[in-house]
Amino acid sequence: MLHLNIVNAYDYALIALYFGIGKIPWFLAGVSNWVSGFSAFMFVAAAGFTYKNGIGAAVIFTSAAWAYLIGAWYFAGRWRRARINSPLEFLTRRFSPSTTYFYTVTAIVPQIIGIGQGLYVLCIFVATALGFSKEAHLVLGFEFSGLELTMLTVGVVMILYTVIGGLWAAVLSDAVQGVIILVTSVLIFPVTFRYLGGGEGIGAGLAKMVHDVPAEMLTVQGQAAQPWFLFSYAINVLLGYNVAWWQVQRYQSVPDEKGARKMAILCAGLSVVGPLLWIVPVMGARVIFPDLAAMWPGVKAPEETAFVSLAMLLLPHGMIGFVVAAILSATLGQASDGFNWLAATTTRDIYVPLRRRFGQSVPTDKHQMHVAQLTMLVIGVLGIVAAMFIARTGGAFDFGLKYYSMTGPGFMMPVLLGMIYRKTPWWSGMASCSAAFIAAFGCMALDLWPGHAYERNMLSASLAAVLVFVISAFYYRSDDPRSFEAQKLDVDLRTPVPSDGVVPIGGLRDFQMLAGVCALLAVVLCICAFLPSSPLAPPMINAIAGLLLFIIAGILWVISRPRR
């Protein structure tokens, strides 16, 4: 029986240290953009797909590379030229303020489901690492699986922190989380195949995996071999890595167009190499853990525990604590952002206008704050309910695809089209978005192509959005006053943003602060080399991780020195 290193007191102490370091501001670097994709979803849902399908996962999860290259060629420069301060401002400039309001209100329900999905994926990772997933637990007379109990606990903590005052605003930024997870990914490859090699080296471990893994895992099979799925997924990554709001913010964070293109090209290269750091080890996990269902009977999709089981077997205490902390803070930080945005939107854009409509006075700031806090509570409860529902659907990856296919094209296809072609009327964004939702939900209601729901939703919604957008162009009037801002945007998108060649000093300070935090974490991990651990996970791995962090800290410090 394999011994897994379940989180212990040392790991809990390191988790507490991680959260106590403080806030690190956002810094200007493409590496940060890439590592922000290393989330709980990647190590849970995508790892589960890899465990079942094998090498075909590389076809899917390296596809971000070509999407980034398209971004470098076209979108990176144009997002810099858009001259906007926030992603939603693009909707106002390109279409109308009504479009921004329409998007804001329409996104409320999908955002709540997204919070539930993030909570579910996070808790698969955390519940497995804490050892809660194996058994049922009786609480106040009700029986919960370990995963369900973890979702309830983490969900309640998330609600309390957000309602009390957004304490997660003081959590480390994506940069530190990404560095920790990146170091983990770099280490998990050699330790996995060292273990499989049985003392004969990493090469022997790779050979054993090729020999022992089911033969079909070494061929492209399943969804990765289906043309309609690949075409639909291509639309997915084209939208996700070029016009999704988080990507727009990354392009806006660099000083000039040249920097935006360099960032996209760097991310493209890393997106080819990076996924292999965890795809190949997870294939090795298929040999190490041939029956994850028996190991984790309380998990609906046990294959999604593959990566965390690998980490618990082969990483020592110390590293495990930091990995749990990084993924926990990243996911809860994103959820907190969603909470605050939804609460503000519901209060400002729905509650206040409704009071006015019914002849009541505008509420005071204090009153609005109480409404926002109540909204956060309701959103949190609904998010937990959504997570519970998702947990019963059979897997985060399949649910994630279906969820995105229902919402992604509707919200993002009009943005893509509006960036490429600017001569459509002010209402074209709302019409295109509505058409996408009607097509996707209509096909679902009619139960068309039920065995390929993801492909059906992506293709029908995208086609409907494009068709309505094209038709709307025939109603464009250049003399319409409501077209004036879109015409100004068109001029801006054709006009390069001048660069003064000065690196913002704030960006350099961000590098320096991140370098300091990396050095601190490196010292702690080196100290962890003296902690007891299992023979399969020697504590010396902590020292190696510390050395890697020292190297990263040194590189960041060199980069941060002002050029003369």
CATH code, domain with 175: 1.20.1730.10
Q: Find the farthest-apart pair of alpha carbons in the chain and give their distance in angstroms, rounded.
A: 79
Per DSSP, the three-state class of 479 is coil
491: pLDDT strictly greater than 80: yes
How far is the C-alpha of 371 from the C-alpha of 475, rounded, in Å?
Answer: 41
pTM of the entire predicted model: 0.82
Whole-number pLDDT of residue 171: 36
Say what the pLDDT of residue 25 is: 36
The predicted pLDDT at position 40 comes to 66
Structure tokens at 260: 């935006």
Q: Is residue 1 part of a domain?
A: no
Residues 6+ apart with CB under 8 A from 419: 75, 78, 90, 94, 243, 493
What single string gives the DSSP state of each residue in 370-434?
Answer: HHHHHHHHHHHHHHHHHHHHHHTTT-HHHHHHHHHHHHHHHHHHHHHHHHH---S-TTHHHHHHH
Q: CA 113, CA 121: separation in Å to the nearest integer? A: 12
In sequence order, the 6+-apart residues with CB closer than 8 A to the CB of 373 are 163, 343
Instruction: Assess if residue 2 is contained within a domain.
Output: no
Range 11-31 average pLDDT: 51
Q: Is 167 helix (H, G, I), strand (E, B) or coil?
A: helix
CA distances from 108 to 264, 296, 349, 382, 544 (A): 30, 34, 11, 12, 45
SS3 state of residue 292? helix
Q: Fill in the amino acid letter for 112.
A: I
With bands split at pLDDT 50, 70 and 90, how would you rate the model's confidence at 400?
confident
Q: What is the mean pLDDT of residues 481-504?
A: 81
What is the C-alpha to C-alpha distance for residues 244 and 88, in angstroms, rounded to an integer?
11
CB 45 within 8 A of CB 397: yes
In the structure encoding, which two tokens stand for residue 237, read together? 């990554």
Q: Which two tokens stand for residue 292?
A: 């994850």
Confidence band (pLDDT; 50, 70, 90) for 190? very high
CA distance 162 to 376: 7
Range of the domain at 254: 9-560
pLDDT tens across 324-383, in order? Answer: 776 776 666 666 666 766 777 778 777 887 788 878 887 887 888 888 878 888 888 888
Least confident of 103-107, 333-337, 473-477: 333-337
Neighbours of 95 (CB within 10 A): 29
The model's confidence at residue 13, banded by pLDDT at 50, 70 and 90, is low
Of 170-184, 197-211, 361-375, 508-522, which one has max mean pLDDT?
197-211
Contacts of 378 (CB under 8 A, 6+ apart): none
Per-residue pLDDT, 3: 66
121-133 mean pLDDT: 74
Model confidence at 417, pLDDT cuts 50, 70, 90, reads very high
What confidence score (pLDDT) does residue 230 get? Answer: 94
Structure tokens at 331: 């996911």
The predicted structure's pLDDT at residue 402: 87
- How many residues appear in the chain? 564
pLDDT grade for 538, boundaries at 50, 70 and 90: confident
In a domain, 215, yes or no: yes
Contacts 24+ apart (CB under 8 A), 227-232: 228/452, 228/455, 228/459, 229/452, 229/454, 229/455, 230/59, 230/60, 231/455, 231/459, 232/405, 232/454, 232/455, 232/458, 232/459
8-state DSSP, 155: H
Instruction: Report how far residue 188's alpha carbon sits from residue 311's, in angstroms, rounded to the nearest whole number.
Output: 7
**What Å distances lie between residue 209 and 48, 102, 113, 302, CA to CA?**
17, 52, 38, 20
User: Cα(294)–Cα(183) distance, rounded to whole angstroms?
Assistant: 30
Q: DSSP string of 423-445?
A: -S-TTHHHHHHHHHHHHHHHHHH
Q: What is the pLDDT of residue 434?
A: 97
Do residues 229 and 455 lie in contact, with contact meaning Cβ atoms separated by under 8 Å?
A: yes
For the record, the structure tokens of 306 come out as 């593959």
Count, in order, helices (H) and strands (E) of the chain: 28, 2
Residue 276 makes CB contacts below 8 A (sequence gap 6+) with: 58, 62
**pLDDT band for position 166 (cuts 50, 70, 90):** very low
Q: How many domains does the chain have?
A: 1
Dihedral angle at the C-alpha atoms of 506, 512, 518, 523, nearest 10 degrees? -150
